Amino acid sequence: MGIKKGKTFEEFYGIKKAKEIKKKLRESHKGQIPVWKGIPMLEKRKEWLSDYWINKYKNGYIHPNIGRKISEEQIGKMKNTIRNNGGSKLKGKTFEERFGKEKALEIKKKSSKRLKGKKLHKNAIKGMEIYHTKIKGKNYEEIHGIDKGKKIKDKIKKSFTKDLRKRISERVSKRKGDLSPNWKGGLKEVNCKECGKIILRSDLNIFSRENIFCNKECHNKYQIGKNSYSWKGGISFEPYGLDWTREFRRAIRNRDNQVCMLCGIHREKLSRALDVHHINYNKQDSTIENCISLCNSCHIKTNINRKHWTKFFQDLLHERYNYTYSK
């Protein structure tokens, strides 16, 4: 017995004899019910087995089936057994269709208890992520094909019966307004910052905004002068330097070929002359390197995000005219 211990039939008897022995064993056990079938395994026994195999694999044990390739004969046998058991018929069917409603509920309950509190394996999460990235933005026809996609849609339509819709609407109605767990007292009365009119607004609206207005007109009226978010201390009212003459402005427009340097519109298509804009927003610095031709609509855009526009126009003039600027 000591010589046989830990060896397979193939290792001990040879491949031919091992096949004969395995066949005889199968025939002898055919139709017999195992002794342990139906008897629940003790928890201590389960723990012992799990510890035993964990330690075995840690110590470098390699299962004999690892790395083996299944032969074509074996694959054929497996397919035949699946066909005989109605595997092809059951493919793509739900638990209810396979086992009936009662048994399906039992199976689902057991699986939910077994998986409760357990985390998914890293490989499973990765696989799900890859699958979702492939599916993203596609419809059922693109994922499963035209025929299967239509079947899935029909199933979804059938599942949304009138009774189900009623149940959903009842649930939603129970969680509306005061009954909702997120209820925080509803809308509150607030005064408009411009006209003082009383208006209703949510807590989130009040919390996220400093000033609240009743309409756009009041908002636009309030955003004039010092209240404007683009207010820079009244820079626009400062006087221009002595170099700011008509001749200088004409020279800038002629340099730029009477074209807006941002949108590319020509002077002939406009009702007024092109504006000359100071790139660094300093009116005293009226030099050729610091000025650019813009139409009125593009000139208005430059009042916001000034750091961006200064860099943008400096890079543009550097490319066109090879002007240099200090950082």
> Which of 199, 227, 255 finishes a domain?
227
Per the domain annotation, does 80 fall within a domain?
no
Same domain, 317 and 246: yes
Examine residue 196 and state whether it is found in any structural domain, yes or no.
Answer: yes
pLDDT value, residue 91:
66
Q: Is residue 281 part of a domain?
A: yes
Find residue 266's DSSP bridge partners.
Answer: 259
Residue 84 within any structural domain of the chain = no
Q: Looking at the domain assignment, is residue 2 inside a domain?
A: no
How do the residues of the chain divide into helix, strand and coil, expressed in percent and rounded to 5? 55, 5, 40
In a domain, 202, yes or no: yes
Q: Are residues 204 and 254 in the same domain?
A: no
Residues 194 and 259 in one domain: no
The closest alpha carbon to 277, from 288, 258, 291, 260, belongs to 291
- What is the number of domains present in the chain? 2
The confidence score (pLDDT) of residue 317 equals: 92
261 plus 311 within the same structural domain? yes
- Residue 189: strand, helix, or coil: strand
Radius of gyration of the chain (CA): 40
Identify whether residues 258 and 306 lie together within a single domain. yes
CB 278 within 8 A of CB 285: yes
Residues 277/292, Cβ–Cβ less than 8 Å: yes
Is 264 found in the same domain as 316? Answer: yes
Find the domain containing 202 and state its range.
188-227
pTM of the complete model = 0.35
Q: How far is CA 49 from CA 45, 55, 58, 114, in A?
A: 6, 10, 14, 19
What pLDDT is stored for residue 29 in this prediction? 75
Mean pLDDT of each 10-residue bin along the chain, 327 residues long: 67 85 82 62 72 79 74 82 66 77 86 78 81 84 87 85 85 77 77 87 78 86 72 67 90 94 92 92 90 93 88 92 86
Among residues 264, 327, 322, the alpha carbon closest in space to that of 293 is found at 264
Looking at the structure, do residues 249 and 308 belong to the same domain, yes or no?
yes
Residue 57 within a domain: no
- Residue 175 counted as domain residue: no
Residues ≥6 apart with Cβ < 8 Å to 226: none
DSSP 27-58: HHHTTPPPTTTTPPPPHHHHHHHHHHHHHHHH
Of 197, 227, 257, the residue that ends a domain is 227
